[in-house]
Structure 1
Amino acid sequence: MKQVLADEQAMAAFGAALAASVTEGGVIFLRGDLGMGKTTLSRGVLRGCGHTGSVKSPTYTLVEPYDTPSGPVFHFDLYRLSDPEELEYLGIRDYFTEQALCLIEWPDKGDGVLPSPDLEIQIELSGTGRSLLLTPVTQKGQAMVDNLSNTTTELAGDD
C-alpha cells in the first residue's frame, strides 16, 4: 500500500489511523532518512491510542514506554545504537508481548536482535510531502493494511 501525505498534520493523522487499524499489539518498523517524519508518525499513533501527554523522541533513551488506553506502546529510536547487542542489556525481549505495539525507528541498527516486523513503513520525500510505502510481513501486518485502506483516502495530498 502506498500513501502520499501532504504535510506534518497529515502524517500525524495517518499515525492515528494506523493506531485504529491495530486490533492487537504488533511490531512496526519505520524506515526513512533523518527528517522524514518517523517521530511525527509515531506521535500520531500514540495520539490514536489515546495518549494525551507529551511525546518525545527516544533518540537518547532508545525507548519510551507509554501506557495508553489501547494498551502498552513502546517507541524505539535506535539511531544512536552502536551495537545491536546493546539491546540485550535493555531487556529488549521483554517489550515484545502480544499486547504491546512496538514502533521502531532505525530498525537496521538492531539487526539480529529485533524480532521480525508485522509491518514495515518506508517514508520518502514526495514533493513537499511524504510518500509512505507500507509492506505487510505477517498476517497481522496485512490486517493493519487492510483496515487502513478503507480509512486513509482523505489524508492523501497532491502528488
Structure 2
Amino acid sequence: MDDEQLNIFKEAFKKANNGSINFPGNFQQGKINEIKFFTAVMRGAMHVRFFIAKNETEKWYLDLFTITDDYSWHKRIEHDGTIINLENFERQFGWPVYPDDAERTKREHDEIRAINSNVQSVLLQKGLVKNFDMPDFEKENVVRLDYTHNDTDLL
C-alpha cells in the first residue's frame, strides 16, 4: 500500500470513528489490529478492531468495528475514502416492551435476537469481535496495538 492510500485511510478512519480515534501509526498489514483505551479513568472506553485488505478488483478497503461505553458501529472505508455503514447490532439502547401486547413484544425481541445473531456471526467471521471459542485464532491473527489516547484525539 502506498503513502497516498494510507493517508486516505488515516483521514477517513478518524471520520468513521466520529473524530474520536486517530489512525494508529503502528498497525500491521495482514492482521486484525486492536485498539483499546479509556478517555478517563475507567470511563470513555473505546475498543476498535480493523483490518486492511484488497477486494476482488484489487482495490484496498478497511473494515472496522468500534465499541464505546454507549454504542457500536461497523463500517467500511473504501479505497477512495468513502465510508459505508455495514450491518450492526439492533436496539443497543434497550428493547421495546409493549405492556398491552405480549405477543408483539416477544415477536420484536425474537427479530432483534435474529438480527444480532447474524451480525455477531459476520463480525466473528471477519475477526472484528473476539472469538472466545478460538483462542488460537486470536493469538495468530490479532495484534493488540499500544495506543496512547490524548485529548487531541477528541478534537
Normalising by structure 2, report the TM-score. 0.32
Query: With CA pairs under 8 Å and 6+ residues apart, which has the higher RCO, 1 or 2?
Result: 1
